[in-house]
A = this chain, B = another copy of it.
Amino acid sequence: MPASPEDSAQRHRISDTSVSLGERLHASRELSLTLARPLTDEDQTVQAMDDASPTKWHLAHTTWFYEAFVLRNHMPGYQPFSDRFEYCFNSYYETQGPRHPRAHRGLLTRPSAEEVRRYRSHVDEALMGLMSDEGSLAPEVKELIELGINHEQQHQELLLTDILSLFAAQPLRPAYQPLTLVTEANSLASETRWISFEGGIKEVGHDGQSFSYDNELPRHDELIRPFKLAHRCVSNSEWLEFIEDGGYVNPLLWLADGWGAVKSNGWQAPGYWEETADGWRQMTLHGLVPLNPAAPVSHVSYYEADAFARWAGKRLPSEFEWEHAAQTTDAANNPANTLGSGTLRPCPASADAPVDRVQQMMGDVWEWTGSAYLPYPGYRPPPGAVGEYNGKFMCSQHVLRGASCVTPDGHSRITYRNFFYPHQRWQFMGLRLAEDA
């Protein structure tokens, strides 16, 4: 999105923990508006499927979060913008009362996008007032604001993936951001190198010294067996081999539920792939473009990732193998492309990286792991309404690790646990192979 150096610099500062909470809050609030700017008010109103939300709803819901949890409780004299928005923009907080059904978010032509922007201004002004004396803020308020920033960052990523789903459903296949420069090599990805890791009892999970979500806690021991991890993600050209080898027509490669999903959805390729007379095209935030063979495959469900791994004679890593490898190789300081890069789609792994290191861990695509999304030993959701955040989804989903090309800078951590149902694929989801050592 950001084309100018200023934007890029600004965003970089978001992840810079030396800046103040207030500055980070401000930058985070601005980023949402920046992301919405290429969209018409009409684009911001519609949802293409129940899983996705309209841009306008993301903009309002992230604002409601501050109003409901910070301003109403911790800012004396705060005047809510509207009593009706509680109902419209609560996502799923049962403690906060009844709410508009998720599948009907796309019906909300009122309030208008313009009014939602005024809502944001109203709340932002109050927040900036609150932050003006940051030093005297109670720690719990600071924590709520930190949570609010992270919450909004999640919705920034969703805003983009949801817009992609909307634009892909349009007969006109519009581009969210035109490609200014087509510099992509049309070559294949580098050959996969297998990086070895020793087993043993390893510490995983967040240490609680800085911000994390509750589901990354507590830090604890896990028993890991020796394993190898591919140095990069599976590429589009490798996925084409899978297709050409009958990957989508051979039930023996698939989980039973996965095969059911293939049949009922008519899957024959990853999401947003379109076969044309001129070869495969992929609908992206830059519009409908030729498939890049060297780039990581994206928009594959867990079922597809699992089937691919079986076809390849490998497996998916566990979330703890992934985290251990990321620790070891300092993945957090070795980013692949995320939102700040300005390229809103996965890119090929760099060819000139150290040969003994895993690459692309923290960007391009979220990586499906073989781990079910379950609580860590000793996990406790925080008390109060914000406790309805991660714990209540701990069933029937799988963990994805890393980050994607549309993850806001400053939002990724090697302990971060993203999670989706095994049939979902509208996020930037890919995979990296593993095997026993």
* Chain A, range 382-404, C-beta contacts under 8 Å to B: 388, 392-396
* Bound: A84/B174 CA distance, A: 12
**Cβ-defined partner of A255 (8 Å) among B104, B378, B395:** B395
Chain B residues whose CB sits within 8 angstroms of the CB of A171 once the complex forms: 84, 87-88, 100, 108
**Cβ-defined partner of A42 (8 Å) among B45, B169, B225, B388:** B45
A223: CB under 8 A from chain B?
Answer: yes
With an 8 Å Cβ cutoff, the count of chain A residues facing the other chain is 62
Instruction: Report whether B374 and A370 are in contact in the complex, using a CB–CB cutoff of 8 Å.
Output: yes
Chain B residues whose CB sits within 8 angstroms of the CB of A394 once the complex forms: 255
A43: nearest residue on chain B (CB-CB)?
B109
Instruction: Report whether B223 and A395 are in contact in the complex, using a CB–CB cutoff of 8 Å.
Output: no
Chain B residues whose CB sits within 8 angstroms of the CB of A170 once the complex forms: 107-110
Q: Mark A93-120, 1 if CB is under 8 A from B, else 0.
A: 0110000100010111111110000000
Instruction: Report whether B252 and A95 are in contact in the complex, using a CB–CB cutoff of 8 Å.
Output: yes
A210: CB under 8 A from chain B?
Answer: no
A201: CB under 8 A from chain B?
Answer: yes
* Bound: A228/B109 CA distance, A: 47
* Chain A, range 178-209, C-beta contacts under 8 Å to B: 201
Q: Mark A367-379, 1 if CB is under 8 A from B, else 0.
A: 0001110110110
* Bound: A103/B192 CA distance, A: 44
A221: CB under 8 A from chain B?
Answer: yes
A92: CB under 8 A from chain B?
Answer: yes
Known: A46-B106, A256-B393, A257-B395. A111 touches B172 (CB 8 A): yes
A258: CB under 8 A from chain B?
Answer: yes
* Bound: A223/B200 CA distance, A: 10
Chain B residues whose CB sits within 8 angstroms of the CB of A378 once the complex forms: 225, 436
A387: nearest residue on chain B (CB-CB)?
B252
A302: CB under 8 A from chain B?
Answer: yes
Instruction: Report whether A172 and B110 are in contact in the complex, using a CB–CB cutoff of 8 Å.
Output: yes
A304: CB under 8 A from chain B?
Answer: no
Residues in A lying within 8 Å of B, measured CB to CB: 40-46, 48, 84, 87-88, 92, 94-95, 100, 104, 106-113, 166-167, 169-172, 174, 201, 221-223, 225, 251-252, 254-259, 302-303, 306, 370-372, 374-375, 377-378, 388, 392-396, 422, 436
Could you list 19 examples of A-B contacts with CB < 8 Å?
A42-B113, A46-B46, A46-B106, A84-B172, A87-B171, A88-B172, A100-B171, A104-B169, A107-B170, A109-B166, A109-B170, A110-B167, A221-B223, A225-B377, A255-B392, A258-B395, A303-B395, A371-B374, A396-B396
Q: A95-B252, A225-B378, A255-B392 are known contacts; what are 12 more A-B pairs with Cβ within 8 Å?
A: A40-B41, A40-B109, A41-B42, A45-B109, A46-B106, A46-B109, A87-B171, A109-B170, A255-B394, A256-B392, A370-B375, A395-B422
